[in-house]
Structures are given as structure tokens and as C-alpha cells.
Amino acid sequence: MNKMGLFSLRLCTGTLVRWAGLYPYSIRACTGMTKLQIDEEVAKLLELKAQLGGDDGKHAFVLKTAKGTRDYNPKQMAIREKVFNTIISCFKRHGAETIDTPVFELKETLTGKYGEDSKLIYDLKDQGGELLSLRYDLTVPFARYLAMNKITNIKRYHIAKVYRRDNPAMTRGRYREFYQCDFDIAGQYDPMIPDAECLKIVHEILSELELGDFRIKVNDRRILDGMFAVCGVPDDKFRTICSTVDKLDKVPWEDVKNEMVNEKGLAPEAADQIGEYVSMQGGMDLAEKLLQDLKLSQSKQACAGLTDMKQLFSYLQLFRVTDKVVFDLSLARGLDYYTGVIYEAVLTQSSPTPAPPAQQNGAVGEEGVSVGSVAGGGRYDGLVGMFDPKGRKVPCVGVSIGIERVFSIMEQKAEASAERVRTTETQVMVASAQKNLLEERLKLTAELWDAEIKAEVMYKKNPKLLSQLQHCEDTGIPLVAILGEQELKDGVVKLRTVATREEVDVSRAELVEEIKKRTL
């Protein structure tokens, strides 16, 4: 590119970036792009501008987040905090305690646990003789923690960031750095009781967050393996074929069959038999039907899984969640460490209706179109034993909430709603109606802080009362404690309700109690 061309491109890039910064709403109106999409395009322009360099030939420093990551403003953080509180409250309601593990692990700890997804693990450079990798999920570190500390029974939750060297699609909630919210039960218990509780937890969280209609799909790895065996899949292809079946919620059956046959070498007749099974959906009735299936009943593995599936649905009936749970033979979940029941929660655009047995692709009926997975998990009885020197197994079952997808939906709902999102929890603003009352305002603010009242004061000696009241309206602060010379003489504070503009004199001694009463 000649000098004139470079100059034109720099000029165009700089103009576009400035225009995007000044007029984001105009761009959104003209193009229909979301703010996140605009930010991503601007980031690409900035990166291109940096590569071209400044007019003096020096490399320009680019202010941007790394690919697949993002910053969160106070409004977004307020939404995230609300979601986290809802999830943590549910976990605690079910008796869980919490742990934490390092953000990176020895590379050998993570290697070989995720099947084909292992290529997405972030490796770090050699650090002091140790080969390290950023954690890919919270489940493998949990299993390592159990084996290392010889723990055989625990019910725990863990909320932390994980990392995946994925091709990010941030507009759909896919990042390289993101939070996971995990709940797991480790220990030897009677079949399906902990598994049913995990599904109950997913039901509670999705219902409380009011994300819209959802469906929880369940299956069992033993049923899948038995199905593969009776359909003629070679033993050494079980996991790779399982990974392909796992794509059925994203691509049509013909594409899945094509991958199994043409890319992974499966016989076409075996793929066709698999296609007949993975189109089936139902509940306890489907488990009973499959136990009578001439081919599937030949597999001891499949029969064990189907028997447990019947037991699972009987517990789910007691937990009153069967209206949202479906036994779906197309659900595979590609991670290698699952050994039994697996499940995935999917949001639907409208109220889901039972799908006919012949339906494919993991869809949920014409009136309930799948719009994305928001939770998943299952049973992994062999993972802890992989870390134990003596191979001692600790049965485990757990669920992970897809928190970033949840955040994206909550942010979109907040943006579409006229309701203001509060970014602080301030209960009262300490204000003055006259000059030279800074010391009195600071004294009252300190009294409120000592009484555990969330209070603010303006950092000016003589702020205008109108400015102080406007700040309360802008930020959603519900109360204003107004001081004046007369109030100080009378030993009272004028307490103003911002929403109604009603004012009442409250004695200084009763102010804390009155504020607490009004802000419960």
C-alpha cells in the first residue's frame, strides 16, 4: 500500500472510531447493531489503526481489552451481583459450603479430561520448572482437591473464572474468560437422590431469575454407550461419536451423520440406527419403553442407566419439577469424565410443548424453539480416582450454571426495560440547605455509618440543595437527611422521601431507627 493509501486508511479509521465513540446511539439506530457488536467493531478498527502506526511512524498504544474478554460498567456489575446473590442463596439453601482453588493448575492435572475440547486449554510458559495451564472448568480442580485432601463426602459450591482458548462469540455470551457457578455433591449415597437435587437446583435458579421458559434435558452416558454398542459403533470410537452427537442441538441430523460417516469413519447403517434412537424424547414412559427395546435391552450398561432414569423421574415428581424435565436421547455432553446421568438446561422462546418422538436436533417443539444452553452437568464417578495414588473412587454429581449466557439475557432485559438499575445501595444522602454546615454533615454521616446505614455526602463545602436532591434522583437514593441551622437548634433532622418529596422532622436520637424502618 502506498503512502497516500496508508494516510487515507488511518484517516478513515480514526474518523470511524471517533464517530462511534461520539454517536453510538446513531450507529445503533442506523445499523441495528447492539452496543456490544459496535464495541467489537470499534476494537477491530483500533487494532488495525495500531498496526498501521501513527503519522510519525511510531507504534501507537491501543486501549482495548484482550480478545474474548470485556469490561463491566457499574450497571452491568449491579445486574451480575443480583444474579450471583440469587444463585448463592439457592446453593446455601441446599446446604452447600464453598471452596476456592488456584486459577492455574499443573498441565498434567487438566490434560486428558475434556476429550476433544482439550485443545482449548490455555497453556502457560514454563514457570520455575512446572508446566502450567489456566483452569478450563471448576470440576477437574475440585476432583484434584478431593483426592489431594482425602475428602470422601462434601456438598460444595464454587464460583470463579475459567479460561478457554476458544474462538469467542461475545454477542452470544461466549468468552475466553468467564465465570462458572458450580454445585457438586461428592460421596457414596443411594442412587439418584443427589442427582435429583441437582436438577431441582437448576429448576429453582432458572425460575427465580425469570429468564423465560426453559427445559432441562436429561440422559445417561451408560444409555449412550449401550446405544452405540448395539448400533455397531466400535469401542474405540465411543467418545468421538459421542462428541459428534453432542452437536445435535446446534446442527441438523444430516450434518451430524455426515461427520460420523465421512470424517470419523462410522458405517452408514450404524449412523442410521443411532439416528432412530437420538430422535426420541419423553419421560419415565420412554425409559420403560426402551427397557423393552429388543436391541437396547441386550446392553447391561443401557439397562442400568434406564433403570436409574426411572428412579430419577420418580424423585423429580416428588420435587415437582417434571413439568420442565425431558428424557432426551440426543443429549450427549462431550466431556470425557461423565459416567452416568447427564443434563442440560435450555432456554426456549415460548412455553415448551412435549416434542413428538420423531423430532430431531434436541428441539423442544414448534412452540418452544431452543435459544441456548444455560446450565449443564452430570455424574462423574471416576474423576477423583484418576488423581488418587491408589485409584480410590469418590462418586460425584454436579451442575454448572452458564452464568455469562444468563448475564447477557439479563442485560438485554434491563436495556429493553424502562426500569432504572441501581448501581449503589446508598440508603440516605446527608444534605444541607444552608452554607457552612460541612462539619455537621460529616458528623451525621459518621453517625449513620457507625449504625450500619449506607450513607453518602457530597464532597463540597457548600453544595446547592438542588444539586444534592438531583443526585439522589439520578442514582435512586430513596432518602435525604437535611440539616439546617434551625434543625440543629431543635435537635432534629428533616427526612425527605425522594420519590414523593414528603418531608418530616425526626429527632436525632430516632433517626437511625426511622431510616431502617423506611428502607427495609
Q: Which residues contact 206 (CB under 8 A, 6 or more apart)?
A: 214, 345, 374, 375
Half-sphere exposure at residue 370, Cβ-oriented, CA atoms within 13 angstroms: 19
Q: In angstroms, what CA-CA distances link 46 with 13, 28, 200, 387?
A: 7, 19, 46, 46
CA distance 51 to 307: 61
Q: Is there a binding annotation on residue 333?
A: yes
Contacts 24+ apart (CB under 8 A), 150-155: 151/186, 151/394, 152/186, 152/187, 152/188, 152/394, 153/186, 153/187, 153/188, 154/97, 154/184, 154/185, 154/186, 154/187, 155/94, 155/95, 155/96, 155/97, 155/184, 155/185, 155/186
Amino acid residing at 515:
I
SS3 184: strand
CA distance 227 to 303: 10
Q: Is there a binding annotation on residue 138?
A: yes
Cβ–Cβ under 8 Å, residues 167 and 106: no
Q: Which residues contact 232 (CB under 8 A, 6 or more apart)?
A: 267, 269, 270, 273
Count of residues making up the chain? 520
CA distance 197 to 190: 13
CA distance 202 to 375: 7
Q: Is there a binding annotation on residue 164?
A: yes
* Per-residue cell: 47: 487494532
* Per-residue cell: 225: 454407550
Q: Is there a binding annotation on residue 338?
A: yes
Residue with grid cell 454448572, as numbered in its chain: 400
* Per-residue cell: 172: 452470544
Q: Is there a binding annotation on residue 180?
A: yes
Q: CA nearest 334: which of 238, 411, 260?
A: 238
For residues 414, 415, 420 and 423, what is the CA-based torsion angle, rounded to 10 degrees? 80
Q: CA nearest 157: which of 142, 179, 147, 146?
A: 142
Q: Sort strands 104-106 and 97-98 into parallel, antiparallel or unpaired.
A: unpaired
Residue 417, Ramachandran bin (φ over 0: left; ψ between -120 and 50: alpha; else beta):
beta
CA distance 195 to 192: 5
Q: Is there a binding annotation on residue 337?
A: yes
Half-sphere exposure at residue 334, Cβ-oriented, CA atoms within 13 angstroms: 16
CA distance 319 to 310: 15
Could you give the angle at the alpha carbon of 408 between the alpha carbons of 402 and 409, nearest 5°?
A: 95
Could you give the angle at the alpha carbon of 67 between the alpha carbons of 66 and 70, nearest 5°?
A: 65
Largest CA distance in the chain: 93
CA distance 381 to 395: 4
Binding-site residue positions = 137-139, 164, 180, 184, 333, 337-338
Binding-site residue positions for L-histidine = 137-139, 164, 180, 184, 333, 337-338
